[in-house]
Structure 1
Amino acid sequence: MAENYGRARQNEIYRAGVHGRTPSVPTDFATLEKRAKAKMSARGWAYIAGGAGEGRTMAANRAALDRWAIVPRMLRDTSDRNLEIELFGQTLPAPVLFSPVGAGALAHDRADIHIGHAAAELGLPYIFSNQGCAPMEDVAAEMDSVSRGAPRWFQLYWSTDDRLVRSLVSRAEQSGAAAIAVTLDTTMLGWRPQDLNLGSLPFARAEGIDQYTSDPSFWEIVAERLKDAVSEKPEVSIGAIKTLFSIAKNVPGDIRRNLTAPEPRAAVETFLDIYSRPTLSWTDIVTLRDMTSLPIVLKGVLHPDDARKAVDVGVDGIIVSNHGGRQVDGSISSADALVDVADAVEGRVKVLVDSGFYTGADVFKALALGADAVCIGRPHMYGLALAGAAGARDAVANIVAELDLTLGLSGQTDVRTLDRSVLKKV
């Protein structure tokens, strides 16, 4: 980001205010969340905003950050500030990435295309969602149309079929991904009451499975299953008919044919059976090195022993994450886990963090606690719901602007030198 990015962003908003124009994307998280909820469907809100169980992990994420206070220093020249970092050979204008969020079309149609566009405009990486609503190739093309070679990663959910894993990794390489982020914490879905109370699983409606339905290996698996399938007469209901129309619309091909052909429904059933592997182990992670030369990042590490093991097996990075509080109710907060993980790896691999980081001040604290960069999830999805690509862009641009101002107002000049000395436990 340009020097004085925070002031420039402020001035842009204030100049518009002279003409009576206010931001379409609120600059504080509470208002952003409130407006996004009003805009989104009940299903969309439940999936994107909801957490596991009683929401205790989401609350813990906030409480842990609030236990750390920034201690500003005075009478320092902070006119020249640096937000740039280096991550796996790429220079990024700020230590912020767009997190992968599945089934994004629940917030806005063509969600992944819009998010990719927003990230490319800011020059920040977008981690393509394995559960995206557009093939990664389409998102990569959109990003390249904005800025050739705009940074992007790929999030991998490890399927029960390694043919599909290899195909997804190969496609990610060809799409220009700079790293593979393996999600470890979703070998099965957590107990999510907001979705359960609506009986809503987006993937059962073919929402968020576009990486699969655009993959030749996946269709090979579907064909094999159809060959061995035993025909059963499905239950007919209004809900089932609506679901069938959703599947027909979201799976590639002519909608009219998809309504009667067996393949679309078989694709959904196949996805539900194979999308993740409960037996995923360290051995699988080691085999990934044979599949790709890209940096490997493990997403979902919370225990320092797992972090040390990750270093031992030769991965390149860790994303400390509790999946936005969506998997285990009562889990350790991401900020508390970050402290332990950063201490455990001692700088031997890159450490990123997500889950509950919604503001520039949150990002500042995360960097001081030991993160090299921070992944932003719900804020960019809420911005997306309000204003598409521009909304996703502005939501993250506001976070970066606040980070810049917080850096300077705290007497600091470089995000790379932040450490716990700038904080106090309260």
Structure 2
Amino acid sequence: MAQAQPVCLEDLQQSAAARLAPPVWDFIAGGSGRETTLDANRAALDSVSLVPRVLAGVKTSDTGAQLLGTSAALPLAVAPMAYQRLLWPEGELAAAEGARAAQVPFVVSTISSTSLEEIAEVGADLWFQLYWLHDRGRMVELIRRAEQVGCQALMVTVDVPIMGRRLRDLRNEFTLPVWIRSANLEPEGPSAAHSRRAGESAVAAHTKIAFDSTFDWSDLEWIREQTRLPLVVKGILAPRDAEQAVGLGVDAVVVSNHGGRQLDGALPSITALPWVVEAVDGRCQVLMDSGVRSGTDILRALALGADGVLIGRPVLWGLSTAGAQGVTQVLSILRTELEEALLLAGCADLAAARALRTLTR
């Protein structure tokens, strides 16, 4: 009997969970601590009710968006995610191909398992995500490489001074297989991420060596001075932090709790979103991630003031199920759902979506 065609992202989630080895599934699905923030992200999104308009005379809906000057078929970019070759042999190459087919930006992680240069050959609209490293020279090198391959934005993740305590990975003593590496950072050969330690995550040990936890606002200002690329700051929840980022000349902020993978107990991103939108007051774009699982969720974010969203885990579900085709399928489902949600809400385009009223229970 042929497998049923997936009709929502949860169908692909189930397929991915069945296909992947349990430690790999835990690595992508898990959160930090007791996973209270992971669960709260979803609950908070479900608590946002939309107030649709009727008799709007809308025949079709336009989901097109401009994100940091990048034209996209959806108000959406694929979030930066590490080590995608764990899920599919071509890893980031397949994911970028899926994003290119869906006409949305693809954000390359500092710790991707394929090099930035190889991913650029796919021809997707790329942004590059940067962690704060101990080695400033290496950071400048990564920025220059991003510029040279034509990346359209630089995204700095600011909520990972250390990796959150992810209990699933600790219990599994999660370790990268020898054929997976941080292709943008490491030469061929083993690293700390390949050395199993009793009761520890080797990936967390590796990031502790590479990342500098003393990253502060002066360092972000230094990064702003290093490039003319549009600068995005990912990991903002506090309005005062958003204001400070705007003051340093950033072009966008991403309201994010890292998908519940950093500070357990942090508030849901969708809850913080209106505060951040008010704080930046139109001076930069505002994106949101953490828990987005449907076109309705995208509409909720737009109605609360976001310019767009980042999609993380669902892309990995599609990648692990069918490679590039699976990624495109995830993004196509989201596009169909958003088109229908816009029509049902009486919205012809994203501007009308942002004018919708909401009620949060």
The correspondence of residues 115-194 of structure 1 with structure 2, limited to 5 A, is 115-142=95-122, 144=123, 150-194=124-168
Once the two structures are TM-superposed, the CA of residue 196 in structure 1 deviates from its matched residue by 0.5
Q: Which residue of 2 aligns with 1:51?
A: 31
Asked if 1 retains the 8 angstrom alpha-carbon contact of 2:156 and 2:233, the reply is yes
Q: 2:220 aligns with which of 271, 285, 299?
A: 285
1:85 aligns with 2:65: yes
Question: Structure 1: which amino acid aligns with 2:107?
Answer: I
Structure 1 ranges of 4+ moved more than 6 A:
none
1:107 aligns with 2:80: no
Is the alpha carbon distance of 1:66 and 1:160 closer, same or farther for their aligned partners in structure 2, counting shifts above 3 Å? same
Any gaps of 5 or more consecutive residues in structure 2?
Answer: 197-202
Asked if 1 retains the 8 angstrom alpha-carbon contact of 2:50 and 2:357, the reply is yes
Q: 1:198 aligns with which of 160, 166, 172?
A: 172
The correspondence of residues 360-371 of structure 1 with structure 2, limited to 5 A, is 360-371=295-306
In 2: Cα distance, 1:96 partner to 1:182 partner: 18
Once the two structures are TM-superposed, the CA of residue 74 in structure 1 deviates from its matched residue by 2.0
Once the two structures are TM-superposed, the CA of residue 352 in structure 1 deviates from its matched residue by 0.5
Asked if 1 retains the 8 angstrom alpha-carbon contact of 2:88 and 2:323, the reply is yes
In 2: Cα distance, 1:334 partner to 1:208 partner: 30
- Structure with more helix by fraction: 1
Report SS of the residue matched to 1:48: helix
For residues 156-210 of structure 1, give each alpha carbon's deviation from its aligned partner in whole angstroms, at most 9, with x where no partner exists: 01111101100011111111111110011111110101100001143x8573411
Q: 1:71 aligns with which of 51, 54, 66?
A: 51
For residues 192-231 of structure 1, give each alpha carbon's deviation from its aligned partner in whole angstroms, at most 9, with x where no partner exists: 01100001143x857341111269xxx9xx9xxxxxxxxx
In 1: Cα distance, 2:229 partner to 2:204 partner: 31
Asked if 2 retains the 8 angstrom alpha-carbon contact of 1:372 and 1:416, the reply is no
Q: 1:32 aligns with which of 6, 12, 17?
A: 12
In 1: Cα distance, 2:7 partner to 2:84 partner: 22
Once the two structures are TM-superposed, the CA of residue 122 in structure 1 deviates from its matched residue by 1.2
Asked if 2 retains the 8 angstrom alpha-carbon contact of 1:36 and 1:383, the reply is yes
In 2: Cα distance, 1:205 partner to 1:366 partner: 40
Question: Structure 2: which amino acid aligns with 1:327?
Answer: Q
TM-score (norm 2): 0.92
Once the two structures are TM-superposed, the CA of residue 423 in structure 1 deviates from its matched residue by 2.0
In 2: Cα distance, 1:269 partner to 1:60 partner: 24
Is the alpha carbon distance of 1:335 and 1:270 closer, same or farther for their aligned partners in structure 2, counting shifts above 3 Å? closer
In 2: Cα distance, 1:127 partner to 1:189 partner: 20
Question: Structure 2: which amino acid aligns with 1:52?
Answer: S
Q: Which residue of 1 aligns with 2:277?
A: 342
Q: Which residue of 2 aligns with 1:301?
A: 236
Q: 2:326 aligns with which of 391, 395, 399?
A: 391
Report SS of the residue matched to 2:310: strand
1:209 aligns with 2:182: yes
Report SS of the residue matched to 2:121: helix
In 2: Cα distance, 1:375 partner to 1:341 partner: 16
Is the alpha carbon distance of 1:400 and 1:379 closer, same or farther for their aligned partners in structure 2, counting shifts above 3 Å? same
Question: Structure 1: which amino acid aligns with 2:39?
Answer: A
CA-based RMSD: 2.4
Q: 1:319 aligns with which of 233, 254, 260?
A: 254
Moved more, 29-38 or 177-186: 29-38
Q: Which residue of 2 aligns with 1:276?
A: 211
Question: Structure 1: which amino acid aligns with 2:68?
Answer: F
Is the alpha carbon distance of 1:410 and 1:214 closer, same or farther for their aligned partners in structure 2, counting shifts above 3 Å? farther
Asked if 2 retains the 8 angstrom alpha-carbon contact of 1:157 and 1:275, the reply is no
Report SS of the residue matched to 2:244: helix
Moved more, 408-417 or 79-88: 79-88
Question: Structure 2: which amino acid aligns with 1:63?
Answer: A
Asked if 1 retains the 8 angstrom alpha-carbon contact of 2:70 and 2:105, the reply is no
Report SS of the residue matched to 2:99: helix
Q: 1:333 aligns with which of 263, 268, 275?
A: 268
In 1: Cα distance, 2:187 partner to 2:330 partner: 30
Asked if 2 retains the 8 angstrom alpha-carbon contact of 1:73 and 1:411, the reply is yes
Question: Structure 2: which amino acid aligns with 1:363?
Answer: I
In 2: Cα distance, 1:195 partner to 1:365 partner: 32
For residues 91-149 of structure 1, give each alpha carbon's deviation from its aligned partner in whole angstroms, at most 9, with x where no partner exists: 2221011111112122212210001100111111000011111001101102x2xxxxx
In 1: Cα distance, 2:205 partner to 2:354 partner: 47
Asked if 1 retains the 8 angstrom alpha-carbon contact of 2:9 and 2:333, the reply is no
Is the alpha carbon distance of 1:33 and 1:302 closer, same or farther for their aligned partners in structure 2, counting shifts above 3 Å? same
Report SS of the residue matched to 2:292: coil
Is the alpha carbon distance of 1:123 and 1:421 closer, same or farther for their aligned partners in structure 2, counting shifts above 3 Å? closer
**Highest Rg: 1 or 2?**
1
